[in-house]
Structure 1
Amino acid sequence: MRYVVSFLMAFVVAFLAGKVLIPLLRRLKAGQGVKEYGPAWHNSKQNTPTMGGLMFIVGITVTVLTVGWQDIAAGSYGALLVLAFALVFGAIGFFDDFMKVKYHHGDGLSAGMKFLLQLAAAIVYTLLLRRFGYLSFDLYIPFVNLTIDLPEWLYMVFAAFVMVGTVNAVNLTDGIDGLATGVTMPVSLFFLAVSVLWGATELSVFSAALFGGLCAFLIYNFHPAKVFMGDTGSLFLGGVVCGMAFALDIPLLLILVGIIYIAETLSDIIQVTYFKLTHGKRIFRMAPLHHHLELGGWSEVKLFAVFTLITLAACLLAYFGLINRYPF
């Protein structure tokens, strides 16, 4: 099975990349900047290298362009489109990380600049998926097996909103050791299962490579982390997650498989909104949700385990939400 080879290759390449990249990042003093409003004990992470997401980015890219080459040569461009889309976000994240490291503070590119770049990438990607036949402008409703016809302009607005929102939600989840990595691993397996059911070989190769790259990265990223993925990695992962969901034409299932991403984002939005409306009062001890639970006594390892298991359960439920669309 090619996706087994894909998993193994991405794992090995990403793991070996870590052996080279982590010492290099340390020599370059590419340490993580800690934001002033984060938990006080996160200050100890200040000098941990960032931009480690390059490990799994390299592993996935090499795998897709080698194991997946026969699909590309045969005219199946799904994996290549997802990869290119995710690499655009990874490049945005890399520049953001570079700015943080260069100027030694926790903020990089302005929010407005990142939003415009992400919006442009989402629009172009949606049009390309449509051009190569991976996407219709119909919205599939899982569980009830219904399809809603949407006007093209409305679907474009929907797609842009979901893509930009998903990318930033994944980025927000990357706040403690291993969390974004662990939460995205079950999501990659979900996409692998759906790709195999659909017969989308090129996307199954990509999904397996994603899982392999994340498994290797987790060796370095599990608490206590030797390296952080940075915005380089988290924005890339966000691009992969929404990119795969749209390439498989199942974007609404992001509500389930991305349940942790959504919870993290909603907690942040609720906190900020309530703080402004009440002139300083808070609902959560700290936002996003993982910081609230940290301050409540949860360890980083417990958060990793619980959030990953919740995502796994949600992915299983989402899988069965397709029971009327795909033959099991």
Structure 2
Amino acid sequence: MTNWLWIILISFIIPVITLPFFVNYLKKHKIGQRIRQEGPDLHQHKMGIPTMGGIIVLLTLLIVIILLVPYNKYILWSLIITVGFGLIGLIDDLIKYFKKRSLGLKASYKLFLQIIFSLIVIFFIYPIGDLGTEIYLPFLKKSLDLGRLFAPFVVLVMISSVNALNLTDGLDGLATGLIFIAMLTFALIAYIQNILPMSLFSLIVAFTCLGFLVYNFFPAQIFLGDVGAFALGGALVSIAIFTKTELFLLIIGGVFAIETLSVILQVTSVKLRKKTIFKMSPIHHHFELCGWPEPKIVIRFWIAGIILAIIGIASI
């Protein structure tokens, strides 16, 4: 456990020390946030704030896990999933930068890359001996064997989780704080299951996010970018896969699910009824346009995340 404490501390310290230098580098090269025209006018002041901070998150995870953590197949594959989705996000961010626009990859291209990568991952992790095709059911204290449906189910969970986190990353510190809460929760779940490598991986990701949050909370000095949001979504779903708790993501990651559902409902309502349900989606923008200050929304969403995390632990 002493080694764990040092590893966790280093995971926190690296982003705290390196991010100021990275922020200055991004400012020097004018690599900043571009605001979507359809986004809220309240965000125009964020134009130019450095983005792609997820690069530091990824580098921290790579350094800590490769240099300090003993080899474990689950940690290795969790890192691969995290980096793989992060690279898709990086491509998206780089297109925004070089094309000087707020949109990077087309949504169809982004989804295609996510599906291909997810299929590659499931092809390799499916045969892992003790992984199996079962998933745990919340509250019922039972498991369900999906058999051949396991692979498409996991691919769906991976893509949904990554995009849900990306949708949530719209306010200063919102996604980062929620990931910190979720990762601590899954660290406890993995510890209860005696899957200690995944517990350690969860704590490394959690405290890397906490170090990033020092500069990401309101008013943010740097944003995750798609590279960070996709990477952290990958990290989150990898832990759920290797602890067989994919369905628990709907509870522990309930805020991410609600954010995604708000977008689905808004789009469906506009197409079918020609009317909106929310002032703007995802739902955190709705509260912004209702006059809530940004930090108030973020902290209340964090509280909701904590409550859902407690429910998730109770449902084991």
Q: TM-score range by the shorter chain?
A: over 0.9
- State the superposition RMSD in angstroms: 1.3
Asked whether 1:291 is paired with 2:282, we answer no
Kindly tell me: are residues 209 and 222 of structure 1, through their superposed partners in 2, closer, same or farther at Cα, counting changes over 3 Å?
A: same
1:48-59 map, 5 Å = 48-59=49-60
Give per-residue Cα distances to partners, 1:169-199, cap 9 Å, x unaligned. 0000000111000111110101111222222
Aligned pairs (5 A) from 1:39-54: 39-54=40-55
Residue 186 (structure 1) aligns with: 181
Within-5 A mapping of 1:191-206:
191-206=186-201
1:314 paired residue number: 308
Contact 2:126 2:151 in 1 (8 A): no
Gaps of 5+ in 2: none
Q: Write the letter of the residue equivalent to 1:278.
A: R
Letter of the 2:194 counterpart: G
Match of 1:326 in 2: none
1:110-259 correspondence to structure 2 within 5 Å: 110-133=106-129, 135-152=131-148, 154-259=149-254
* Contiguous gaps of at least 5 residues in structure 1: 323-328
CA distance in 2, matches of 1:133, 1:8: 33
Partner residue of 2:83?
87
| Alpha-carbon distance in structure 2 between the residues aligned to 1:178 and 1:239 | 18
Answer yes or no: is the 8 Å Cα contact 1:134–1:247 preserved in 2.
Answer: no
SS in 1 for 2:126: helix
Please tell me the residue identity of whatever aligns with 1:172: L
Residue 260 (str. 1) matches residue 241 (str. 2):
no
* 1:22 positional shift: 0.7
Query: 1:7 aligned to 2:8?
Result: yes
User: Aligned equivalents of 1:285 and 1:98: distance in 2?
Assistant: 30
Distance 2:108 2:131 in 1: 28
**Does structure 2 conserve the Cα–Cα contact (< 8 Å) formed by 1:5 and 1:67?**
no
TM-score, normalised to structure 1, is: 0.93
- Whole-Å Cα distance in 1 between the matches of residues 157 and 180 of structure 2? 20
Determine the C-alpha separation between the residues in 2 that align with 1:40 and 1:243. Answer: 36
Q: Deviations over 1:18-67 (max 9, x none)?
A: 02211111111111110001110211111101101112222222111122
Distance 2:105 2:271 in 1: 24
Query: TM-score with structure 2 length normalisation?
Result: 0.96
Any idea what SS the aligned residue of 2:143 has? strand
Aligned letter for 2:300? V
Q: Post-superposition shift, 1:134?
A: 5.1
C-alpha separation between the residues in 2 aligned to 1:61 and 1:197? 26
Q: Which amino acid aligns with 1:36?
A: Q
Aligned 8 A contact 1:129 1:247 in 2: no
Contact 2:173 2:213 in 1 (8 A): yes
Q: Which moved more, 1:141-150 or 1:95-104?
A: 141-150
Supply the distance in 2 between the matched residues of 1:314 and 1:18 (Cα, whole angstroms): 31
